[in-house]
Amino acid sequence: MEKVSLFSDNKVLIGPDSGFDNYIMALESSCDETACAIVKNGREVVANVVASQIKTHEKFGGVIPEIAAREHLDAVNVVVEEAFSQSGLKGKDITAFASTVGPGLVGCLLVGLNAAKTLSLVYDKPFIGVNHLNAHLCANYLDTDIKPPFMALLVSGGHTQIIDVESYSKQTILGETIDDAVGEAYDKVARLIGLPYPGGPKLDKLAQVGNPKAFELPISKVGDYDFSFSGLKTAVLRLVKSFDGKELPTEDICASFQECVSKTLVKKLRKALQEKGYKQVVIAGGVAANSEIRKKVFDLEKEGYKVNAPAMKYCTDNAAMVASCAYFNTNTFDDIDVEVFSRVKG
Ligand code: KG4
Ligand code: ZN
């Protein structure tokens, strides 16, 4: 696919059909990670830098958008320089510059977008805007040779979707959450039982030493491939209240919650696989780092499916997945006037 530089007619062929090695530098700043990466031909990570703001937001119990945007501003040049230095490449060696355009926090997204556009302008190379959700899916291409078609389970802080990935650029959302995303449910339940932000990974740790059968929690019944986690969250709230201030069996609550979530996700994923007749399945998004969800999805191998999950460092927000998405042209935005967006337009 031909891409044009920002302010000149310099045309460059990008992607698997370009006939030469592509080095894409990408920036990611949609939430609380400032990241920059350089990826060769959509799969080989030659530099990967992530500056996390968790320490800053921890004391507030969640991400404060204005503070996050300011921290991105402080970090963006540092991560770009570090990526150049890790790779040994110079600006002129980069084939195209990419950044996440949305969904995410607008003030945060603007930092990465403007930095990437500026680099494109300085080095007279194309700019490629990327959808954060598509980027999470493309994390599966990093350091692997997996190719579509496959079924994907995308589980992040903001989204829960089952996606039919027919080709690099053709994807259909089969179902999604009608209320809370899985990551959101993890963070809210973690908060309920007194775990500090970000609660998801902490809840996962405690769940691993608890009894998953200790409490029966409700699995919501919604349409074919859709999900609902707000009822489950309320059930945990009731359970916590029932202890009336007495010491909570925290590990058992975590394990029971985790069992309910992972069972629901994999049940629907299996149904989608069977209906479509696909033989490959992938998981993606921050919650794909979850031990039990990973385990249950990998158990599908026993049923004959080929399963892939990104390495842990490519599950949570990073820029290597953005570079891969730009290379494979997965629903990208190539208009130089592209603006950031906070939510997927429905
Ligand atoms: O994909 P991501 O990094 O950011 C978004 O695009 O949303 O996902 C962040 C989410 C948070 O809700 C975090 O609590 C959750 O992923 N998360 C986990 C685990 N690691 C990260 N949730 C459950 N278990 C984990 N191990
Ligand atoms: Zn994300």
Name the residue with the closest Cα to ligand 1, atom 23: 200
What's the pLDDT tens digit per position in 294-313? 999 999 999 999 999 999 99
Nearest-atom index, ligand 1, CA of 190: 14
Name the residue with the closest Cα to ligand 1, atom 19: 201
* Per-residue pLDDT at 344: 66
Nearest-atom index, ligand 1, CA of 317: 3
pTM, 2 dp: 0.93
* Per-residue pLDDT at 321: 98
Nearest-atom index, ligand 1, CA of 30: 6
- The interaxial angle of helices 250-276 and 291-298, nearest 10 deg, is 30
Q: What are 309's two structure tokens?
A: 């999950």
Q: How many CA atoms lie within 13 A of 155 on its CB side?
A: 27
Pairing of strands 160-165, 33-40: unpaired
* Per-residue pLDDT at 153: 98
Domains of the chain: 2-141+316-328 (3.30.420.40), 150-310 (3.30.420.40)
Ranges of residues in the chain whose predicted pLDDT is under 50: 346
Name the residue with the closest Cα to ligand 1, atom 2: 286
Residue corresponding to tokens 């603006």: 339
Q: Which protein residues have their CB within 5 A of the ion that is ligand 2?
A: 156, 317
Pair 95, 22: CB distance under 8 Å: yes
* Per-residue pLDDT at 346: 42
